[in-house]
């Protein structure tokens, strides 16, 4: 059972986490949801399409203009409070690696801290424990936030992912983070080249076998673009193919830009796996 905010999710229940970037320079939407009203409209649409979690980010993942903790707080805290007011039952996640930002957004109503940089700030887990928030424990290869990997290598990428994410999850639990609120993430593209991310996907079942809920952030990532030689706006098909494979191998939470399309893929995979019934079943029955 995965418990986030006021929501509970069964073991085989797929969970969609919709991305809402509060940045003027995000790689995917180039700042389309930087202002409040477009961002709130995005939340409303994502919830209507089936997202259970809204993941709010105040700093883009890649290199760029410096964003201080104070500026990150300014971009996220008020928005978290407004989303909580308008959508009281939605799970609110905030994508941050900074403990001071984590504390501020939890005060405003956030339910989950999405630590995409693999415990770079070890105090972030302490904040999650203090506020009773969920925590995403990610493999980022030990790189500093907002940097790209350079000639990075692993003897065994999945062994490194397991050692890192399970270690972070167990540390978080020891600090007092609820075990049913902890997720592990292989960190596609983070501290990895394309072949690393492909192997992490191929071996995702090894993460699911740990018993920790697995979150994947695949949406329009560079490893999809390089694999198919497609620019950012032409990576949806590759993303959905990777989503289907990840679902089959046991991932549970999906951080995405395209909610409706992802939901259809996840429902289809769940039906094939025998975890849900078809929405209608008329063929051959009349």
Assign 3-class secondary structure to 177-191. CCHHHEEEECCCCCC
Q: Which of 221, 230, 233, 279 is catalytic?
A: 221
Burial (Cβ within 10 Å: 0-12, 13-18, ≥19) of residue 168: buried
Q: Which of 151, 255, 276, 283 is catalytic?
A: 255
The residues, ordered by sequence, that sit 6+ positions from 210 with a Cβ below 8 Å of its Cβ are 162, 166, 184
- Is 255 annotated in the active site? yes
- Is 60 annotated in the active site? no
Closest CA to 132 of 114, 117, 116, 110: 110
Where does residue 220 fall: left (phi above 0), alpha (psi -120 to 50 degrees), or beta otherwise?
left
Residue with the two structure tokens 């939901």: 263
Rounded to whole angstroms, what are the CA distances from 233 to 4, 221, 240? 31, 10, 13
Active site residues: 221, 255
């Amino acid at each position: 059972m995965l418990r986030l905010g006021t929501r509970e999710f069964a073991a085989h229940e797929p969970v969609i986490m919709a991305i809402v970037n509060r940045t003027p320079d995000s790689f995917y939407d180039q700042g389309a949801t930087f202002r409040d009203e477009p961002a709130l409209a995005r939340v409303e649409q994502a919830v209507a399409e089936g997202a259970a979690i809204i993941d709010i980010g105040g700093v883009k993942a890649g290199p760029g203009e410096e964003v201080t903790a104070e500026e990150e707080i300014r971009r996220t805290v008020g928005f978290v409070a407004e989303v909580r007011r308008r959508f009281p039952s939605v799970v609110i996640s905030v994508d941050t690696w900074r403990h001071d930002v984590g504390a501020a957004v939890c005060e405003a109503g956030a339910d989950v801290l999405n630590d995409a940089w693999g415990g770079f700030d070890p105090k972030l887990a302490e904040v999650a424990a203090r506020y009773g928030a969920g925590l995403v424990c990610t493999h980022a290869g030990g790189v500093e936030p907002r940097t790209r990997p350079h000639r990075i290598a692993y003897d065994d990428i999945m062994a490194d992912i397991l050692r890192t994410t399970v270690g972070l999850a167990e540390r978080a639990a020891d600090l007092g983070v609820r075990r049913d609120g902890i997720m592990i993430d292989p960190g596609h593209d983070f501290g990895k080249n394309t072949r690393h991310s492909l192997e992490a996907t191929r071996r995702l079942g090894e993460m699911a076998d740990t018993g920790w809920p697995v979150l994947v952030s695949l949406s329009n990532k560079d490893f999809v673009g390089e694999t198919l030689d497609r620019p950012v706006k032409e990576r949806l098909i590759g993303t959905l193919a990777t989503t289907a494979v990840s679902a089959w191998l046991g991932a549970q939470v999906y951080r995405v830009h395209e909610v409706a399309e992802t939901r259809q893929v996840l429902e289809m995979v769940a039906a094939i796996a025998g975890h849900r019934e078809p929405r209608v079943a008329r063929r051959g029955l009349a």
